Structure 1
Amino acid sequence: MSGTNTEVWIAANDGQDMIRADAIVVLRLDESGRLTAQLRDEARITVTLLEGSSHDQPPKDFHRQLIQKVAELADSSGARLMYAQHDGGTWRWITERL
């Protein structure tokens, strides 16, 4: 990977799995706060990125916030990791260099 190429990775629900952002073709945020990503492949694999709960749901536009962050990071260099964080009643996307 060259220094000018950016790869954005998203940590899935448990933090053990990572998905490359450019492999995602569909994001769904359902009423329970579960955010899933459908991956670009023949099998139409769906991965859960995060699980909300009945009392701690991410904002209704949280999947749009993810898209916005990925687009911003695509203009930077190097590999980046993103993950959702819930702290003090607030949900946000955290980014870090890999």
Structure 2
Amino acid sequence: MDIFAKEFRADMLGQVDGLLDAKNVAATKVEEEALKLRAEQAQLTKTKARLANEECPVSVCPYCFYMSQKTSALTATDPTPDGIDQLKCKTCHNEWQQPD
């Protein structure tokens, strides 16, 4: 029985080592994902503060200003068939109607 117990013990040690390695890999992935989520939360907090507290300049793309914290200039494009002036952002390519 002693030999059987030693073989069982050695086999189980190997299995437990494998399980520990797998759990360490999984834990590392979870920690990396948590870091990414915290970075996204920090970015959203900045965006929320900017949306709540800052006015976007007229000549700047609102999307880039609020969401990316960039001051991307808007350029004029052809008016709509209704004659409404339009502006386009060179960074995000969003189109905006000229404010009155």
TM-score interval (norm. to shorter) = under 0.3
Comparing both structures, which one devotes a greater share of its residues to helix?
Answer: 2
Q: Which has the higher relative contact order, 1 or 2, with Cα contacts under 8 A spaced 6 or more apart? A: 1
Larger Cα-atom Rg: 2
Comparing both structures, which one devotes a greater share of its residues to strand?
Answer: 1
Provide TM-score, normalisation by structure 2.
0.26
